[in-house]
């Protein structure tokens, strides 16, 4: 049996109000379009999660809303600008079969690169742009069994491949 991880960076956020703290920045128009496109992409592949682990930042919560995902969700302050090791700790507490983890750069890119046994053949994988999404299968029956370098990348996509973005 395997578990499936959907590892997504939040969509593009707005910098229009410089008075807002970083944690409170919402998505911009492009980010909202990207999140909706990724939600459609997940649905088309029957990859809707049954559990969501997300940062408490407004832009991650807005991304989740834009995806149209209604799975039980844990909003975790620990995932706000988390490093890969923290993300791994949080992931080991998951209980779902298919888990979506929404986070931030650079931790999410590092986590993705360290999790997979072979990186996807995609020119943008290393820089993990906004709303980039890795889908990976892990050969475990429980999330607490996961280790670095054991996931098999099933797919990697960026919003620009799904919608025309300015």
CATH code of the domain containing 26 = 3.40.50.1240
- In degrees, rounded to 5, the angle at the alpha carbon of residue 117 between the alpha carbons of residues 52 and 60 is 25
The kind and range of the H/E element at 135 are: strand 133-138
Residue 165 has what pLDDT?
A: 56
Tell me how crowded residue 89 is: count the other CB atoms within 10 A of its CB. Answer: 12
What total of structural domains would you count in the chain?
1
Q: Could you tell me how far CA 62 lies from the centroid of its own chain?
A: 13
Q: Rounded to whole angstroms, how far apart are CA atoms 80 and 69?
A: 20
Tell me how crowded residue 96 is: count the other CB atoms within 10 A of its CB. Answer: 17
Residue 166 has what pLDDT?
A: 53
Q: Are 162 and 22 in contact (CB under 8 A)?
A: no
pTM tops 0.75: yes
Residues of the chain falling short of pLDDT 50: none
What domain range is 100 assigned to? 3-161
Residue 163 has what pLDDT?
A: 81
Residue 150 has what pLDDT?
A: 97
Q: Is residue 149 helix, strand or coil?
A: coil
DSSP 64: H
Q: Rounded to whole angstroms, how far apart are CA atoms 99 and 97?
A: 6
pLDDT 10s digits, 61-71: 999 999 999 99
Residue 35 counted as domain residue: yes
Q: Are 62 and 21 in contact (CB under 8 A)?
A: no
Residue 50 has what pLDDT?
A: 97
Q: Is the peptide bond before 159 cis (omega within 30 degrees of 0)?
A: no
List of residues 6+ apart from 43 with CB closer than 8 A: 68
Residue 166 counted as domain residue: no
């Amino acid at each position: 049996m395997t578990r499936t991880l959907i590892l997504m960076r939040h969509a593009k956020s707005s910098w229009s109000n410089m008075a807002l703290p970083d944690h409170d920045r919402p998505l911009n128009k492009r980010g909202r379009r990207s999140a909706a496109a990724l939600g459609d992409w997940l649905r088309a592949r029957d990859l809707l999660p049954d559990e969501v682990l997300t940062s408490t930042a407004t832009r991650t919560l807005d991304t989740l809303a834009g995806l149209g995902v209604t799975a039980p969700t844990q909003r975790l302050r620990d995932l706000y600008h988390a490093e890969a090791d923290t993300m791994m700790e949080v992931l080991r507490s998951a209980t779902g079969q298919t888990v979506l983890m929404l986070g931030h750069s650079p931790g999410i890119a590092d986590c993705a690169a360290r999790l997979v046994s072979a990186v996807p053949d995609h020119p943008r994988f290393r820089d993990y742009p906004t709303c980039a999404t890795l889908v990976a299968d892990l050969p475990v029956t429980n999330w607490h069994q996961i280790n670095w370098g054991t996931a098999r990348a099933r797919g990697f996509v960026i919003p620009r491949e799904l919608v025309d973005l300015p």
